[in-house]
Amino acid sequence: MKKWIQGLVLASVLLTGCSNSTTTEYERLSSEPHGVYYEIFVRAFADSDGDGIGDINGIIDKLDYLEDLGIEGIWLMPINPSPSYHGYDVTDYLGVDEEYGTIDDMKRLVEEANKKGIKIVMDFVINHSSKDHPWFQKALTGDEEYRDYYVWADEETNTNQTGDWAQTVWYGSGNNIYEGVFWDGMPDLNFDSPKLRQEIIDAGTFWLKEIGVDGFRLDAAKYLYSSYQYSDHHDRNVAFWKEFKSEMEAINPDVMMVGEVWDSASVVGPYLEGLHSGFNFDLSEKILSTVKQESDAGIVSNLTRTIGFFEQVNKDYIDSTFITNHDMNRVMTEVQGDHNKAKMAASLLLTLPGNPYIYYGEETGLEGSKPDEYIREPFIWNSGEAAKEQTSWITSKHNQDKEVKSLEAQLDDENSMYTHYRDLINARRGNLALIEGALKSTSYRENGLVTFKRQTDKEEVLVLHNVSKKAITIALDDADKEFNQVYFASFDQSKVTESIDLPPYSTLILLKK
């Protein structure tokens, strides 16, 4: 996709590994297009004007926080105008929701973020629009130009068919029965229409050229052409994404297009012909299963197979990895409030290949379970009286203990979730093998142990995770005794001995001297 560029961030970062460990100084490295990303639900993150609703200027105010955390890219959930709280039903692809700010605010966010080496990737929701979009409203009146923008039933359509999760697919009545795979408020767009495709390309061009965003997170990327209409829907989807990628790269050769293809690797793979990256839902499941069961669910073997398959499709692809996101119960809820297990999930994510995405609040241990509103609760900034930047768009159900969940309560706590995330992110950014290195398996087999190597032409690290509540002792193989320097330890470990003792829920990263 792009030539990797290695550079140094001007300032190095002071990093405290854990209780009793020595302070380690990591020199931050960057290796584009790799980076650590942060997913933000704008409404819930930071409020700049006191109305209780997060906004773009609130994010600008918090760029220093994200920079200190080690974030190199931000994924903004939908910021276009929309009648809903979540924004996934767009009414204007060229606008900004007035509750979030203005076009000028978006331009300033991009400029200020880029000054700090932080990219901006925006949610681009083009599988469907809002039913309130002017296009759809005109289509309902019979306007032929805009009617062609949507998918309508005809006399041969089985309007009683249901979708992948047993949902209703067809809505409306009479001559206005339309496809809406996700909801009746989200009529599906018709990508057989050349004019509609051009509208979408024009919108992408606007955000790249006029606003300067660095890329797109492409919602519902496998549903542009639905299986209810086409047996070859995946092929049709890929063809459009290839067209769209070509148009976007003509504007910005370094654009990043990350697709949401929530499916197995065998389905995701072909989409990498038209996308630079896809979210790895299989890996998310493996990480959560591993930490919940305190036993390796086959992370390395599964990921190695996936990487091999993806590289056959696109040798330059980059995996987009995560633990949970805005559509899933939060990590802390999945592990039933166990901080140790949540920390180990972060340790796995931040030492494996790919561009890791952190859902806002994971770094402070926010909890949340469906319905969706309650996995998108406000980020908590301070432990006392609500700070001016505190959002209140919804009353928190899962995160009422500000003494534990707030950033303020965790900033100076060397054992906090925040410190764990910050330390690991910056350790990752200080070693090119952890940033871009290939994944290699090891021969160590022990219940509760997850081990692997990360390797470039010049560097190699050995990563050891104990995801269990029991201590594990490891004797390094003869071939691995060159790994005799501690690079990172989540416990008090300053040197490598013949026998390595890994405490419960711990991580050790070793270098060759």
In angstroms, the first-to-last Cα distance of the chain is 33
DSSP H/E element including 393: none
Distance of CA 56 to the CA centre of its chain: 19
Helices 417-429 & 339-349 angle (0-180, nearest 10): 10
Ranges of beta strands (E only) in 386-498 are 438-440, 449-455, 460-466, 472-475, 483-489
Asked if 86 contacts 53 with a C-beta cutoff of 8 angstroms, the reply is no
Q: Is 168 helix (H, G, I), strand (E, B) or coil?
A: strand
Strand pairing category for 178-179 and 215-218: unpaired
Specify whether the backbone of 151 is left (phi greater than 0), alpha (psi in -120 to 50) or beta. beta
d(CA 380, CA 395): 12
Measured between alpha carbons, how far is residue 244 from residues 34, 255, 401 in Å? Answer: 22, 11, 45
- Across 45-78, b (16+ Cβ under 10 Å) vs e yields bbbbeeeebbbbbbbbbbbeebbebbbbbbbbbb
Measured between alpha carbons, how far is residue 506 from residues 40, 163, 503 in Å? Answer: 28, 43, 6
Distance of CA 432 to the CA centre of its chain: 21
CB count, 10 Å around CB of 133? Answer: 25
Active site residues: 219, 260
DSSP state of 188: B
Asked if 462 contacts 489 with a C-beta cutoff of 8 angstroms, the reply is no
